């Protein structure tokens, strides 16, 4: 998942409260800046963002607070 450079990567881990993605595809928890001023290829960032949002419940951006993509699903009981 390239972001600032081609070599950037996203770490995806399964946790008790869902799938977490640690990434530099976003800078902050409010998902800004929308256009990355340091991006080597903004189109590649957009593809990577879509991939991460499709699998993650929580995203931990490079410089900000985590944000939840989907609400926590609770077991009935």
pLDDT, tens digit, for every residue of 49-68?
999 999 999 999 989 899 99
Instruction: Please give the share of the chain, as a percent, with pLDDT higher than 70.
Output: 92
**2 SS3 class:** coil
Per-residue DSSP letters for 11-70?
Answer: EEEEETTEEEEE-SS-SSTT---SS-TT-S-HHHHHHHHHHHHHH-SEEE-SSS--EESS
Considering the entire predicted model, what is its pTM? 0.86
Cβ-in-10-Å burial (0-12, 13-18, 19+) of 29 comes to middle
């Amino acid at each position: 998942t390239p972001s600032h450079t081609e070599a950037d990567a996203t770490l995806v881990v399964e946790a008790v409260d869902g799938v977490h993605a640690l990434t530099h595809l976003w800078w902050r928890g409010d998902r800004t800046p929308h256009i990355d001023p340091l991006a080597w290829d903004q189109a590649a960032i957009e593809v990577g963002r879509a991939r991460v949002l499709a699998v993650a419940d929580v995203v931990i951006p490079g410089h900000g607070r985590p944000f939840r993509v989907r609400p926590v699903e609770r077991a009935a009981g």
